[in-house]
Amino acid sequence: MSLKPYLDSLKKSDLIVEVEETVNLDKEITTYLQKYKEKTVLFKKIKEIPYPLVGNLLTSRKQLGKILNSNNYHQEFLYALQKPIEPEEIEENSTFENQKKGNFSELPIPKFFGNDGGKYLTSGIVFAKFPDSNIYNASIHRVMVIDNQRGAIRLVPRDLHHIYEENGKSGEDTPIAIAVGYHPVLGLAASSPLPITKSEMSVANAILKGKLNVTKTPKYNIVVPTDVEFILEGKIIKDKTYEEGPFVDITGTADHIRQQPIIEIERLYHRDNPIFQTILPSYEEHFILMGFPRETQIYNYVSKVIPKIHNVYLTPGGSGWLHAVVSVTPQKLGDAKNVALAAFAAHPSLKWCTIVNEDIDVHNPRAVEWATMTRAGDKDIIIIDNVRGSSLDPSRNAQDNTTIKVIIDATTKEDKGSIGYERLIPF
């Protein structure tokens, strides 16, 4: 399934806002995406740019249920992770109907915030092949535009960084293809922490019930999904870096300026009448894309230590990354703490874990706080000090990335009976 049918489905559900007036790429895009943060926003006219732009493609659990075709989000996604389906490779692909020399200045790439280091491509799924193999990696990386053909790409020490380093050792640049304008399932799959033997697109294909096909790019024969709106083909240069940043990251704070590799875009391919795509940093779509796959991982780990797990939520207050609320039915004293330890193992960047009973809606911050205030006593809050945390946490010890892990057992306790625990009026 491609982007445009998904947009049509959003229209039928009143989940899209269409902006008719001409919009400027310098921070004005941000204003609209913030205003309509729970709906998709389609910008039909971008100043001095020939292509429309869409943002907030996946900003709510309602949209998440739509793309997964289920309200059992974690179970559905976990099934796809455990039973991926390799997509079929085909030759014909409408994405390559139009092609030209790559030029960032012709694309609707916004500058989101005033202190950003420049315009940022935030939605690109980068495809690259592991050296000496037929295995491809797909992952989302931000790219700060340097000039018409060049950008600085943020590489964290994961799969694409490994590919880049291995190619560099052999004196080779890293051929890449960047997909923009895709069905949100592809973004979720590309954001998932998978072993290198498992293809992100095979996970996406499982969710799409076998309807995803792949093809190869014209120049470097990189395997990419068909029916995306744009493909940018080029290379990560082996021995060139550039100062990337500042950038407002998922916590809403400025990430550091770093020397990062340079990409060069050689060719631009697109479908007829294409729509470009962006992701607003530190808002709901950013939280869901980064956080939801980790929620699923937590769900999976916790389900192995307790029979009844009901829900997992990485909260917006925790930037969709640092604070998990887990709803379970404890069987005996101590279960809640085991749940938290499993959650920390599943998502090592997690800083804070609150465990609640099934009567608490994990998506309702008032309910979660009520459970914390009325069900967590003197022995129910545990702080573990000097443990490795997230590099995205501004409060960490920057020298060694250590921080605290906090467990809050906000569940009812059998040894104290039920008096005072049961909520008698609605929230």
Q: How far apart are CA 407 and CA 7, in angstroms?
A: 41
* Cα 195 from chain centre: 17
Structure tokens at 137: 């990696």
Residues 240 and 244: their CA atoms lie apart, in Å, by 12
Token reading at 286: 């950013």
The dihedral through the CA atoms of 239, 243, 249, 253 has a sign that is positive
Place of tokens 């938290």: 340
Report the relative pairing of strands 352-356 and 323-328 from DSSP bridges.
parallel
Using an 8 Å Cβ cutoff, are 63 and 73 in contact? no
Structural tokens at position 90: 């085909």
Residue 409 catalytic? no
End-to-end CA distance of the chain: 40
Q: 156-189 burial string, b = 16+ CB within 10 Å, else e?
A: eeebbbbbbeebbeeeebbbbbbbbbbbbbbbbb
Catalytic residue selected from 173, 227, 249, 409: 249
The residues carrying an active-site annotation are 249
